[in-house]
């Protein structure tokens, strides 16, 4: 009926569209959005503030083709490895962009609807989703200059002619926040004359124009395809830059937040178990805004953790890490943090703004250079080049201390970092190379000319099988980290939303308390962040006297609740009053 009352879903969708497209017929556009998504307007809303995760959730981050075996599609190789070697350790796999691309190892997408034939087929993604939760990248800010859309843009035909953001080269764009040093605008010859398109990241990555609602409808079709192929977790890549208004910073604009709310509304009505994750490599307080009111991202990347944790471990001082953690408010139910130390990108430095001094940041950068790292820069609104990220493998980043350089504590330091990440509030995510202790790949940097290639090594499966089955540091890292993941997954106090309080035990020790949602399990995580033995008294932890306390890592039982504990360099304890039962897969 023409005058039938609007459903709750339609009302909410129209409300979002009014903010984004105030001059359009939002009722008509809402109808098109629902039809594109094949979504019944009467679909009931999912229960708000529901945790779609628990302590068993650990994510693996990997490219589709990181593991390669002759005569086998890399996605098939990856699936076999994860299923055979990691089924007790992880619950989710983040597949970095696996589409045909022209640069940036997948993030210059040429075709959003096709799996890169060199990696496999959609059937491989579907098969993986039947054994693990799969997170896919929605590269939503930009696409490849070699895509069909951009070719159509230059030819003046749709789809594509109106898909890209143009700007006047004479406009004042000095306030625009950039993550790169390349010129913002790219001159392009088109059928309709010379144009200047917006390129936040590189001239091969041309920004899409979401002021055009047809672009939104196109991405709704893409998202629906991903849902049909079993993808349920969505990483919104570089989403902070989505909306542009010349004369502003063009980052974190209100329309961007509204677009995230709209996408979440559509996705969670289609598949209520779906999860939205925003990838916003920006200062901490800005990053936290992407939770919205528990109506934007379910998870946000904890971008301040990698530089602060690495800084603590190489300086032996946990003060900044502790101060930062104390400033992090507990996430609402139905939201949480994605904790990581390493990723396919570098160690972001913008999230340290306001947390590390210029001198401390310079010391960290020089230390990482000493360990073989490279430094990528960005251009500030004032036109200055400023360090943006450190490109280095996590294994090399933790090979020594800032004061003394490389030392014998590399493995202990590395495991300590993993132990911190796994114990913090949130869902831990391991970049695949952090499971193997992969070293800097300087040869790949030379081949690609890209600093980020240093931590994007390609493993031949014969070589990987060899190093994991012989006494190497790779084997030691893999066995130790996977054992920790199994312990972690069994502890209710490590639920991503379990209570967390920071403990004050001096700058050399980093410590916090976790308590399960039902308050039955308490767990004290205490870490020696230095290359010297450190001591503390159990009386500082205020242990419940009637409970038995065991270190889950070493399995040592502490009967004297007032006794003294000595932690060797980078040793840590997970001291719990109850032990969760470790489950082995069938």
Terminal Cα-to-Cα distance of the chain (whole angstroms)? 54
User: Counting every residue, how long is the chain?
Assistant: 586
Provide the annotated active-site residues: 237
Residue 452 annotated as binding site: yes
Asked if 267 contacts 257 with a C-beta cutoff of 8 angstroms, the reply is no
40-63 burial, b for 16+ CB within 10 Å, e for fewer?
A: ebebeeeeeeebbbbbbbbbbbbb
Measured between alpha carbons, how far is 1 from 97 in angstroms, rounded to an integer?
43
236 is an annotated ligand-binding site residue:
yes
Parallel, antiparallel, or unpaired: how do β-strands 193-198 and 205-207 relate?
Answer: unpaired
What DSSP letter does each residue of 186-212 carry, written as one string?
EEEEETTEEEEEE-SSBTTEEEB-TTS
Q: Is 16 flagged in the annotation as binding?
A: no
- DSSP H/E element including 446: helix 442-448
* Rounded CA separation 499/117 (Å): 45
The C-alpha atoms of residue 38 and residue 40 are separated, in whole angstroms, by 7
Q: How far is CA 384 from CA 11, 137, 199, 377, in A?
A: 46, 31, 18, 10
Which helix (H) or strand (E) element contains residue 216? Answer: helix 213-228
Strands 405-406 and 400-401: antiparallel
* Residues 552 and 576 sit within 8 Å (Cβ to Cβ): yes
Q: How far apart are CA 279 and CA 300, in angstroms?
A: 7
Contact between 286 and 253 under an 8 Å Cβ cutoff? The reply is: no
- Closest of 186, 257, 198, 264 to residue 232, by C-alpha: 264
DSSP 8-state code for residue 299? E
Q: Strands 92-95 and 499-503: what pairing?
A: unpaired
DSSP assigned state of 4: P
d(CA 17, CA 13): 6
Is residue 237 annotated as involved in ligand binding? yes
Distance set, CA 340 to CA 12, 61, 420, 425, 454 (Å): 34, 10, 10, 12, 18
Q: What is the dihedral angle through the alpha carbons of 557, 561, 562, 563, rounded to the nearest 10 degrees?
A: -10
Residue 269 has φ and ψ, to the nearest 5°, of: -80, -30
Is residue 345 a known part of a binding site? yes
200 closest CA partner among 223, 176, 184:
184
- Is position 235 annotated in a ligand binding site? yes
Question: CB–CB of 348/341 below 8 Å?
Answer: no
Q: From CA 421, how far away is CA 527, in angstroms rounded?
A: 12
User: Binding site: what residues are annotated?
Assistant: 104, 142, 235-237, 344-345, 452
User: Binding site for substrate: what residues are annotated?
Assistant: 104, 142, 235-237, 344-345, 452
């Amino acid at each position: 009926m023409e005058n039938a009352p609007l459903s709750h879903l339609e009302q909410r969708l129209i409300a979002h569209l009014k903010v984004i497209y105030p001059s359009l017929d939002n009722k008509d556009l809402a109808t098109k959005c629902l039809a594109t998504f094949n979504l019944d307007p009467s679909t009931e809303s999912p229960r708000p503030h529901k945790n779609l995760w628990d302590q068993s959730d650990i994510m693996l981050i990997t490219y589709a083709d990181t593991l390669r075996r002759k005569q086998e599609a890399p996605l098939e190789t990856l699936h076999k490895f994860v299923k055979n070697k990691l089924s007790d350790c992880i619950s989710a796999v983040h597949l970095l962009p696996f589409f045909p691309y022209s640069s940036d190892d997948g993030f210059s997408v040429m075709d959003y609807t096709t799996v890169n034939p060199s990696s496999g087929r959609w059937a491989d993604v579907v098969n993986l989703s039947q054994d693990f939760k799969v997170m896919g990248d929605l590269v939503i800010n930009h696409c490849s200059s070699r895509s069909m859309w951009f070719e159509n843009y230059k030819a003046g035909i749709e789809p594509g002619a109106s898909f890209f953001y143009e700007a006047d080269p004479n406009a004042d764009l000095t306030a625009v926040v950039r993550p790169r040093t390349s010129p913002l605008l790219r001159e392009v010859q088109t059928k309709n004359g010379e144009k200047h398109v917006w390129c936040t990241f590189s001239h091969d990555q041309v920004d899409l124009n979401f002021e055009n609602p047809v672009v939104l409808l196109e991405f709704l079709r893409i998202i629906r395809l991903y849902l049909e192929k079993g993808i349920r977790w969505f990483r919104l890549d570089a989403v902070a830059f989505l909306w542009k208004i010349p004369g502003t910073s063009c980052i974190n604009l209100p329309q961007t937040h509204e677009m995230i709310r709209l996408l979440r509304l559509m996705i969670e009505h289609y598949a209520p178990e779906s999860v939205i994750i925003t990838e916003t490599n920006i200062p901490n307080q800005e990053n936290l805004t992407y939770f919205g009111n528990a109506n934007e991202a379910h998870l946000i990347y904890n971008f301040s953790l990698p530089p602060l944790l690495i800084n603590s471990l190489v300086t032996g001082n946990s003060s900044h890490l502790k101060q930062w953690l104390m400033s992090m408010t507990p996430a609402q139910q139905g939201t949480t943090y994605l904790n990581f130390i390493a990723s396919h990108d570098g160690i972001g430095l913008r999230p340290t703004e306001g947390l590390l001094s210029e001198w401390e940041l310079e010391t960290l950068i020089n230390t990482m250079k000493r360990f073989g790292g490279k430094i990528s820069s960005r251009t500030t609104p004032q036109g200055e080049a400023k360090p943006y990220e450190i490109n280095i493998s996590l294994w090399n980043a933790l090979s020594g201390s800032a004061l003394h350089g490389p030392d014998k504590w590399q493995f202990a330091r590395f495991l300590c970092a993993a132990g911190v990440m796994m114990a913090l509030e949130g869902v831990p995510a391991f970049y695949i190379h952090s499971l193997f202790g992969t070293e800097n790949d300087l040869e790949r940097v030379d081949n690609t000319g890209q600093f980020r290639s240093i931590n994007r090594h390609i493993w031949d499966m014969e070589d990987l099988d060899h190093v994991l089955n012989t006494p190497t540091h790779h084997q030691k890292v893999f066995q130790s980290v996977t054992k920790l993941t199994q312990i972690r997954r069994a502890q209710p106090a490590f639920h991503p939303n379990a209570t967390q309080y920071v403990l004050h035990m001096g700058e050399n020790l980093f410590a916090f308390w976790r308590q399960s949602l039902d308050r039955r399990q308490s767990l004290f995580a205490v870490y020696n962040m230095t290359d010297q033995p450190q001591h503390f008294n159990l009386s500082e932890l205020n242990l419940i006297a009637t409970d038995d306390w065991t270190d889950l890592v070493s399995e040592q039982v502490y009967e004297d609740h007032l006794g003294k504990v000595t932690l060797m360099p980078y040793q840590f304890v997970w001291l719990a009053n109850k032990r969760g039962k470790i489950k082995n897969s069938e």
